[in-house]
Structure 1
Amino acid sequence: MTSQTSPSPLPNPEISDAARERIFSPLHFRGGRKAQNRLWLAPLTNQSSHEDGSLSDDELAFLEARAAGGFSVIESCATHVSRDGQGWPGEFGIFDDRLVDDWRRVADAVHAHDALLIPQIFHAGERANTEVSGQQAWSASAHEERDVRAATEADIARVIDDFARATRRAYEAGADGVELHGAHGYLLCQFLSHTRNQRTDRWGGSLQGRSRLIREVMKACRAEVPDDFIIGVRLSPEDFGATIGIDIDESIQTATWLVEDGAQFIHISLWDVFQPSKKYPDTHPLTLFREALPADIPLITAGHIWSLNDALVTLEHGADAVALGRSAIANPDWPRQARQPGFEPRRPPLSPEELRARALGPIFVDYMRNWKGFVS
């Protein structure tokens, strides 16, 4: 993760009784489905599955343990819709019909604990791991520094179809929805970027052109499944790390268009929920999105949420649900424990043995060493 200079945190709002009640109340989606509470497992890279994209027992055990721990929505790691869209080794895929049975295993395990399964589907674009895919990476525009070629019309048509077919596979496997990964500098985000996307055709230029790919993907996915199948989108509101060329006003407009196209939730990726907007330092990003979106469209977010108080503050800023990442790794039963008076989550560092006891396989434990101070 790239080091960034952050603006000063905004003052925390006073936590209302309504927020305390709401966090454990059901969350409803357009189309009729509902989650049992407002606590989600965030999509987490773990590199734990097999080279051919198939599911490992370790990855399944990790996801099931969080469903058993009371998270009402289980998001998978980012799972690639195309062979050339794979971002890292050991990535659980959704690019082939042979993987439907694997996803059915996950859906059955998650549903056994009354939770929803929402795979996060993506294409890495210029961030694809070419050593794994064996193919040249491509994106909105060519980038010589990374040997990235510009997408052709055929590439774009194919990837739209790949997202739609992946959505159909998730539906056939019994998942409850999918999340389009339009954040973190991956393909859909690369097209949205006003710096990475230098195209002069209908897929570039103004925001209307740069947002065309993610909107066409949404429409194609929506057409593949019934209305009650949840489709949402994760967006980076502003630049951070690998996310480059993203403006918050454009992100809000994109989110608004995507809701018109069929999105049933918007997931805003905040690396730190306690920081204000970079562009509007007196305002929280969630407040801006919440004011712009229809009231019945859930707004989800993640970023440095550890304690129950952290989660409640995030709801007060405008979120309808929170997605926990590192805190869910350290506390697989966070939602159940948070109902107890005096709950204090386990925080890093954790030993490899402690992480194994929390259903992390050995590869995932090694991967967590990339986060300074997480593994003792």
Structure 2
Amino acid sequence: MNRPVQIDMAKAKAVGTLPAGRSPLAVRKIGVLLVNLGTPDGTDYWPMWRYLREFLSDPRVIELNKAIWYPILYGLVLTTRPTKSGANYKKIWNREKNESPLRTFTRSQSEKLAAVFAGNPEIVVDWGMRYGTPSIASVVERMEAQGCDRILTVPLYPQYSATTTATANDQLFRALMKMRRAPAVRSVPPYYDEPVYIDALARSITRHLAGLDFDPEVVLASFHGIPKPYSDRGDPYREHCLETTRLLRERLGWDEKKLITTFQSRFGAQEWLQPYTDKTVERLAKEGVKSIAIVNPGFSSDCIETLEEIAGEVAEIFHHGGGKNFSHIPCLNDSADGMAVIEALVRRELMGWM
């Protein structure tokens, strides 16, 4: 009959003593890598050109055959769009730090999360961008040099899409493919329906609306759009967005007329997910709605799409159509509520490693 094997840990440690002359392994560390979409390094033509080239040549973002897309990209888009996009970035640029708000907030999120784990020398917190700098590869190399043999990557996209979460993870593994000693990796899954995330959004919305001198008749939950064919081919993004809105509506005690889902930031001629944010705002104004607010639950940090497009362009559309009161509700950013979401996700996914 087989009997359980009894292990004497003291003897096991003695047997495992390193041979003479063998150096002990460095202390094993865990890297926590916050990843966001990306940002240009400046607003002038060439920084914008480099950023847009990297972004728009990603096959996860533009699912067209290169033979068709590249002549358009290099012949038309990269000739005209850097100047236009640069002008828009200038409107929201953090001039004190000479960087985009997205970089400012993502760095701050990383610093605040690092402060949470400051008492644990096993944890190394850093941040990177899918497009632009600091690149994911450079941060992974830095983590490996600090002794990280495990990396928890945190794509800061609540709702999953191949155009965001998947391409960020792709880039991480491209970096690992070039490493002789690649660390083990985990990725935080989409958190579109996590109670801590829904609660944080609800508190943020409630607090912001309480500070207004008007009561919005309609609140739009505006998400970044994706081409409709991507959704038709199985990208779960649309369903994730709708579920976030449903849970948020339930949490706030609002009905379907008070909080509605829309999609913004479409690019090109093909159909994107609908209803479109700009068209919806225009329609509401024409129907006599005088007061609205817009929240962006798909963005972990305020950026060009929220600060310039929503708080600028869409607000102008509403006012031009006859609307009176408009307010953009800030993203969670590095607020206490926003950091509570990130910390909760990280602590859960580190279980078994710490």
* Structure ID, larger Rg: 2
TM-score (structure 2 length as normaliser): 0.31
Structure with greater helix share of residues: 2
TM-score (structure 1 length as normaliser): 0.29
